[in-house]
C-alpha cells in the first residue's frame, strides 16, 4: 500500500533545486532583485507532515512564475525518512541536535547538512504540528524583538507561548530556530495543530509563507518597514509556562480527551481512573499532554517523556516589560 507521504514528497522532489546547498531535498529560488533570504523548514519532525503540501504549492508557483519573489527563498524537508515510517525521528530528535557537535547518527548527519541553509537565513520559519489536536494554532519561541515584529506582521496566529530571551527549550539541546536566533537573526516556530495531513494546516502554512515573501519584497523595495507592518496588525496574546508536570512514575496516566489549550483550574483532577492522583497545579491552559503508546501487556513503551503535561497562562505584563532585562542583554 502506498504511503500517504509518497505523493507530496515526490512532488517536492520533482521541484527540488538545491541551488548553493548540498542537501538534496531543498528548493531554492533566487529572484535576483534583492538579497533578503527567507528559509522555511517542513518536517523537521518526520510525522509532522501537514505543512508539506503548502511548501510544494508555493515552490511550484515560484518555479512556474505564477508567484514572483525578488529575493532568495529556500524550503527544505527535514526528516522524510522518519516520516515514511510514521515516526518523529529514527535515532535522535532532529529538532534537538543543532548543537556544536551533533551525534553521529541519521539526525545528527542531517543537522550538519541543514546548518549551511540555516546559516544563510535572514529569517527562518519552522513549521511544526502538535502530537494531539490543538484549540489554538500558536507560535513558540523565546521573545525576540525582531521575531515579535515578524510574528505580528504575518498574522498566522494570535497566540505565542514565549519565554525570556536566551532561555533554552531543553537544557543541553538546540532546536533549529534556536540555532538561527543564536546568530542574532529571527528564528520562529509555528505550530499548525494536530499532526498529519488536513486539520487546516496546509492553508495556514501557505498563507503564512506567501505573506512572508510579500512582506520581504515590499520591505526590500522600501515601500514599507517591518515595524510599520507589525504596528498595523493586532498584537498577540502572550502566554508562558507556569507549571511543568514531570512524568515521575510509569503509573501516571492522564484521563482521556485532553488536547492542547484545554482550560484547567487549580486542583482539577487530571488523572485517569485507577491511576495515581494528578491535579492541576494552577489555573491556565494545558499544553503538550502526553499519552505514550503501550505494549500488549498495557505497560508504557519506554523511554517515557520527561513531562506528562505543561500548563501555560497569559503573561501579567507584555514581554517587552516582563523580559526587559533579558532583551537588553540579548539584543544589546
Instruction: In the chain, list all ranges with CATH 3.40.630.10.
Output: 6-231
Q: What span, in angstroms and rounded, lies between the C-alpha atoms of 97 and 111?
A: 7
Is 70 exceeded by the pLDDT of residue 171?
no
Write down the architecture of domain 6-231 according to CATH: 3-Layer(aba) Sandwich (3.40)
Q: Which is nearest to 113 in space by CA: 127, 98, 126, 133?
A: 98
Q: Which residues of 126-146 are buried (b: 16+ CB within 10 A; e: fewer)?
A: bbbbbbbebebbbbbbbbbeb
Instruction: In the chain, list all ranges with CATH 2.40.50.
Output: 242-313
**pLDDT in the model for residue 283:** 98
Q: Each residue of 184-204: pLDDT tens digit?
A: 999 999 999 999 998 899 999
Using a pLDDT cut of 90, give the percent of the chain over it: 94
Write down the architecture of domain 242-313 according to CATH: Beta Barrel (2.40)
Q: How far is CA 245 from the centre of its chain?
A: 22
Average pLDDT over residues 19-31: 98
Amino acid at each position: 500500500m502506498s504511503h500517504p507521504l509518497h505523493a507530496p514528497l515526490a512532488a517536492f522532489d520533482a521541484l527540488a533545486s538545491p541551488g548553493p546547498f548540498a542537501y538534496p531535498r531543498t528548493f531554492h529560488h533566487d529572484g535576483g532583485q534583492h538579497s533578503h533570504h527567507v528559509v522555511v523548514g517542513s518536517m523537521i519532525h518526520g510525522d509532522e507532515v501537514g505543512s508539506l503540501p503548502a511548501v510544494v504549492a508555493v515552490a511550484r508557483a515560484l518555479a512556474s512564475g505564477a508567484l514572483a519573489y525578488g529575493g532568495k527563498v529556500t524550503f527544505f524537508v527535514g526528516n522524510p525518512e522518519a516520516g515514511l515510517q510514521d515516526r518523529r525521528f529514527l535515532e535522535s530528535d532532529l529538532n534537538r541536535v543543532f548543537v556544536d557537535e551533533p551525534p553521529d547518527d541519521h539526525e545528527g548527519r542531517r543537522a550538519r547538512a541543514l546548518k549551511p541553509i540555516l546559516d544563510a537565513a535572514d529569517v527562518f520559519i519552522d513549521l511544526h504540528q502538535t502530537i494531539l489536536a490543538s484549540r489554538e494554532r500558536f507560535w513558540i519561541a523565546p521573545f525576540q524583538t525582531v521575531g515579535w515584529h515578524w510574528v505580528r506582521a504575518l498574522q498566522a496566529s494570535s497566540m505565542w507561548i514565549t519565554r525570556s530571551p536566551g532561555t533554552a527549550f531543553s537544557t543541553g539541546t538546540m532546536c533549529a530556530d534556536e540555532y538561527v536566533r543564536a546568530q542574532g537573526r529571527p528564528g520562529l516556530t509555528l505550530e499548525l495543530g494536530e499532526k498529519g495531513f488536513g486539520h487546516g494546516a496546509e492553508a495556514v502554512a501557505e498563507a503564512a509563507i506567501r505573506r512572508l515573501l510579500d512582506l520581504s519584497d515590499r520591505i526590500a523595495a522600501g515601500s514599507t518597514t517591518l515595524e510599520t507592518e507589525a504596528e498595523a496588525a493586532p498584537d498577540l496574546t502572550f502566554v508562558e509556562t507556569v507549571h511543568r508536570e514531570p512524568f515521575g512514575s510509569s503509573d501516571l496516566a492522564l484521563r482521556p480527551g485532553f488536547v492542547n489549550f484545554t482550560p484547567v483550574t487549580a486542583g482539577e483532577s487530571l488523572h485517569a481512573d485507577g491511576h495515581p492522583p494528578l491535579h492541576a497545579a494552577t489555573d491556565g491552559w494545558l499544553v503538550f499532554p502526553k499519552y505514550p503508546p503501550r505494549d500488549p501487556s498495557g505497560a508504557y513503551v519506554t523511554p517515557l517523556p520527561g513531562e506528562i503535561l505543561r500548563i501555560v497562562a497569559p503573561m501579567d505584563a507584555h514581554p517587552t516589560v516582563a523580559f526587559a532585562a533579558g532583551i537588553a542583554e540579548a539584543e544589546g
